[in-house]
Amino acid sequence: MSKKIRVLFLCTGNSCRSQMAEGWARHLKGDVIEPFSAGIEKYGLNLLAVKVMSEAQVDISKQISKTVAELPAQEFDWVITVCDHAHDACPVFPGNVKVVHKNFDDPPRLALTARTEEEALIHYRRVRDEIRVFVEMLPDILLRDRIR
């Protein structure tokens, strides 16, 4: 049996998109991917992200928001930046890590004008589902030249 592919999902605050991506990867691809998530900063785990992932039967409630510096010392095979800020501020990683970018909308920003939690959740659910579709294509999509 070959070793799992170590994938780091990197976002600005490791509170929402990268956490959802880690949760989906663990849930859908845990047999081939060892997923991690981190942020350029840490904002704390977003409770609405936890809620919408729970609706999809994926529990991310025990994950914690962390920076790259707080991750266990190891080399990653892939770093996937899931927001433009993380892509622009992505640190240099040791070894032969490949960095790819797949931007997803920011649910907390989109939900700023929501009048109710239910209105806010619409944005979180859409991004959750987009991340799921992306993760379902892993690791095959990583072998392509470009991800958009």
> Starting from the edge strand earliest in sequence, which strands make up the sheet with 5-11, in order?
33-39, 5-11, 78-81, 98-101
* 62 falls within a domain: yes
* 15 falls within a domain: yes
Catalytic residue among 90, 99, 122, 141: 90
Domain count, the chain: 1
Is 11 considered catalytic here? yes
* 42 falls within a domain: yes
CATH code for position 28:
3.40.50.2300
Catalytic residue among 11, 16, 79, 131: 11
Q: Which two three-digit tokens encode residue 111?
A: 């939900």
The whole-model pTM stands at 0.93
Is 83 considered catalytic here? yes
* 95 falls within a domain: yes
Q: What is the pLDDT of residues 65-97, one digit of tens each?
A: 999 999 887 789 999 999 988 888 888 887 889
Which residues of the chain are modeled with pLDDT < 70?
Answer: 1-2, 144-148
pLDDT score at 75: 86
* 148 falls within a domain: no
Q: Which domain holds residue 94?
A: 5-143
> H helices within 30-116, ranges in order?
47-55, 84-88, 107-110
pLDDT score at 27: 98
Catalytic residue among 83, 120, 127, 138: 83
* Nearest alpha carbon to residue 11 among 93, 101, 122: 101
Neighbours of 26 (CB within 10 A): 19
